[in-house]
Each structure stands twice: as structure tokens, then as C-alpha cells.
Amino acid sequence: MQKAFNVAELPLANKNTQHPEIIDKFISVYQMLNKDNLHLLEDVYRPNIQFQDPLHLVNGLHALTGYFADLYQNVTHIAFDIHAVNLSQDGQQASLFWVMSYCHPKLNKGKIIKVDGTSLLKFDEKIFYHRDYFDAGQMLYQHVPLLGSLINLLKKRLG
């Protein structure tokens, strides 16, 4: 079940500024996005979108749709709680701060995993650059059997 919210209520860096329409649309799309409606990506991204996260660099809407199809294939639940939006002075960039919750049957015994992250979006009428920042260990590696135990042991020794 995905969390419902009013995008107009999200905190902004400048309280006198409204979200650009493309940001509201982006947030709405990501609130409903799943493996069966990936065509919605074309509503917010340019055909030549450049997308990057800590795991991949993807160029083009067709490649991005394929990347998401692979990611969402075995996910049984995914939701984004976007808790802040900061706009640049020129209104052509935004940083979104979020927590992603997801379930994958082969990770964390199928239980919910929460990942803190930030997205940097560059846009005009549509988004042409999207970069996600998050801890890949928090998202994936810590939840892989054996590897997760090793990572947690290393964290304890270093911390």
C-alpha cells in the first residue's frame, strides 16, 4: 500500500515558491509506479533522459524503462515517502529527499527494507537528468545472505 500525500504540502527551501508542474507530476508518477505501468515514465522524462544511481548509469527512456522493469520484476512492494523538495534559484533543478520502502523475497527474508535517499532532477518541460544518491549497502548488500553478515561485522569493527 503506498502512502498518499498532498505534494503542495511538501516543504520547500523557499516557502514563496510553488513546485513546478513537472515536479508534482514526477512525485505523482513515482507514487503509483510499478512493473505494470512503466509507460508512465514517458510523462515525466525526455526520450534522452540520463539516469544514474549508485549501481547503474542509464541513457535514454527506452533503456531506463528496461532498467526499471528488471528492478521491479521481483519486488512485491515499493513506496516512496518524499519528505522535502528543494528548488534551485533558477527553478530548473530540484533535490528531493525520500525514504524508499520495498520488499524483495530474496532479501531480508522478504521483510520491508527502508532506504534513505536523495534525487537530483534537472528539467525544463520534462526531466532530462535524474541522479539518485543512496547507500547501496543499506539498499542491497546488507540484506544478501552471508555478504550481509560480513558487512555488518566489518561495520562493527570499524565503528
pLDDT at 17 over 70: no
Taking residues 134-156, report their average pLDDT: 57
Sign of dihedral through CA atoms 43, 67, 105, 150? negative
pLDDT at 3 over 50: no
Is 79 or 94 the better-scoring residue by pLDDT? 94
Q: What pLDDT sits at residue 103?
A: 86
Q: Is 31 helix (H, G, I), strand (E, B) or coil?
A: helix
Residue 123 and residue 94 in contact, taking contact as beta carbons nearer than 8 Å = yes
pLDDT at 7 over 70: no
pLDDT at 10 over 80: no
pLDDT at 83 over 70: yes
pLDDT at 28 over 80: yes
Provide the b/e sequence for 7-26 (b: ≥16 CB within 10 Å).
eeebebeeeeeebbebbebb
Q: Which three cell numbers stand for residue 126?
A: 520534462
